[in-house]
Structure 1
Amino acid sequence: MQSIPDAALAPEPDSTPSTEQAKSGALLDYVSSSRLPTPWAVFEIHVFVERSNQKEHVLLTLGDVADGQPVLARVHSECLTGDALFSLRCDCGPQLQLALERIAKEGRGALMYLRQEGRGIGLLNKIRAYHLQDQGADTVEANEQLGFPADMRRYDICKDMLEHAGIQKLRLMTNNPRKVKTLQEIGIDVVERVPHQIEGNPFNAGYLNTKRLRLGHWLETDE
């Protein structure tokens, strides 16, 4: 564990728009919630829609997360290839599963699943980037060759999710310094960074090394 310094969708027919749905300045509208049984625990799934582009985002919670105490949390950006198709090119799927396992073991926590595939460039461009990586580019170079920044992800939408759930403080599972800094800059109280490293494999060794050397991720390496 490592401490860190402070630093539109219509409602369902049987539901009534909440105060949060009509909140001025909000980036997301809350839609609905349900129980979600998983191999690790029975979570509560809360779905939101982004006002500017109608993207759907998800918050999973477990236990009493609104008691004012720091909540073990993960902000996870969508990765179809890693999360659903078990790709070994990245560490996304194992990171997602480990986060759910850790939250379940603690009996309390939250996971924000953001629909921003391929570090924000979308699925089609991500596969184009994969093609460039097959030809020798690293992940940063591939994005830049396609005309994109290395990382286009945004985290400001997390604030509406956390406010909806009554979460005030985070113990954030991440290796990404930009994620911590951005969340703190928008007023989210990240009181602790919990390292969240996955063991590499022959297919993602270069990917992890690029994260460490070019994107500044806190990763231990054998090199």
Structure 2
Amino acid sequence: MNVVVPATPREAFDLLTAGNARFAAGTPRHPNQDAARRVDTASAQRPHAVLLGCSDSRLAAEIIFDQGLGDLFVVRTAGHAVGPEVLGSIEYGVSVLGCPLVVVLGHDACGAVAATRDAVREGTAARGFLRDVIERVTPSVLAAQAAGVSEDEGFIATHVRHTVDLVMDRSRELADQVAAGRTAVVGLTYRLAEGSVRTVTSRGLDVPPDPAPATASTPGNR
């Protein structure tokens, strides 16, 4: 089953959330996963969203959003930590591939956030390059703690919101695309057991956040 490529941020967002609703309900359609789609996308790609998500093995983007080959331009790091390569990949998806939507996807029971909370609480340093991941997640954990957040969901939502702020602040290309209305950025959290996503924040798209515990930033769109 083929899906029409959405041309606007709203169309892309609605397509993803509809796919997630099917997945959570146990009725996925598995679009764009046949041999014909494989042939169609062999020479070029036209994804409708950039997805920056955690590397967690339970967060397979095409599965949880019921998408197929060529639909998503996926960038994944532990704790969706952001560095130059991640920013460059996002900019490629937006400016070269023309994706009308960027999604930052966090999830409950995130090991990177949990490790960072432990490191901050105990004052310990991780070994090897894991230290870099923890350093990038630490500002979110500190902000959540300063706001009195104690629940896992609050820490995850704060980290997603901070990641959205970070990519918008550091990437002039992305900020310009959002200002021009060509793309939007949405922050979501995913519940592992339920299989459903919740909106945390958005830029360039009028999507109200779903009810959530208090976090380090005032709830609402920007």
TM-score by length of 1: 0.29
Q: As a proportion of its length, which structure holds more helix?
A: 2
TM-score by length of 2: 0.29
Q: As a proportion of its length, which structure holds more strand?
A: 1
